[in-house]
Amino acid sequence: MGKAKGLLWAGAGFGILVVSLILSTPRPGPGKTGREGAGPEDGGKAPPALRAEASGSGPRTPSVLRAEPDHVRIPFQEAGALQFQKGELQAHLLFPVPPRHRLVIEQVSVRAGLSEDRRATAMLTVRVGEAYATHVVPLLAQGRFEGEGSVFAGTQALRAYADGGTSVQLRVDRTAAGDGDTGFVSITGVLEELR
């Protein structure tokens, strides 16, 4: 009982401390935004990507801060079929990124149908500047299906970037070569048009 009472008093003391800090925080007066001296019009320096939009004809009080983008964002999604060549252990698709753009990949999905109880893995490779990054897409066995063999599938939410003028590679590897193995891949995200 003594411990519980002590915890109760400690919690009450913490609550009083938080309330007193909130009440003692200075607030801007009427007609003030709390940003005086911070914006370019006041001789200070505001973050370059933010601007305030005034509402109404009264004092200049920002109602919304919006980021001024240095690029246009375009929804992006591409998909394609993979066909393993006879004797090859891997198949891949390339998704070219247009010049003066940046691709932000947010989701990758892969499905592979393999014969004779083979297993599959998948990787996404992107390039920014001179740096390459490879992201693994985990594939789980889904079972055996008539006409497709052993099916492996996976999806991965991520944030990966690819510069314009490069290609995104989505590759599927299998454990043994054979005939008739196929796959399907898709990527979604945002294509940023750089200005």
SS3 40: helix
Residue 187 and residue 115 in contact, taking contact as beta carbons nearer than 8 Å: no
Q: Quote the CA–CA distance of 43 and 127 in Å, as a whole number.
A: 41
For residue 22, the model assigns a pLDDT of: 44
> What is the predicted pLDDT for the residue at 152?
95
80: its two tokens: 């394609």
Q: Structure tokens of 77?
A: 């999604």
Amino acid, res. 5: K
Where do the structural domains in the chain lie, given as residue ranges? 36-68, 71-194
By percentage, how much of the chain surpasses pLDDT 70? 64
Burial of residue 113 (CB within 10 Å: 0-12, 13-18, 19+) is buried
The fold of 71-194 is Jelly Rolls (2.60.120)
In this structure, what DSSP letter does residue 97 have? Answer: P
More confident residue, 195 or 156: 156
For 45-76, how does the pLDDT look when each residue is reduced to its tens digit (9 = 90+)?
Answer: 433 333 333 333 434 343 343 444 566 889 99
The Cα–Cα gap between 101 and 95 comes to: 13
pLDDT at 71: 64
Q: Considering the entire predicted model, what is its pTM?
A: 0.62
CA 108/CA 141 separation, integer angstroms: 17
Q: pLDDT tens across 150-160, in order?
A: 999 999 999 99
pLDDT of residue 160: 97
Report residue 163 as tokens.
């510069």
Residue located via tokens 């940046």: 102
Token code pair at residue 2: 């003594």
CA–CA gap between residue 61 and residue 39 (Å, rounded): 13
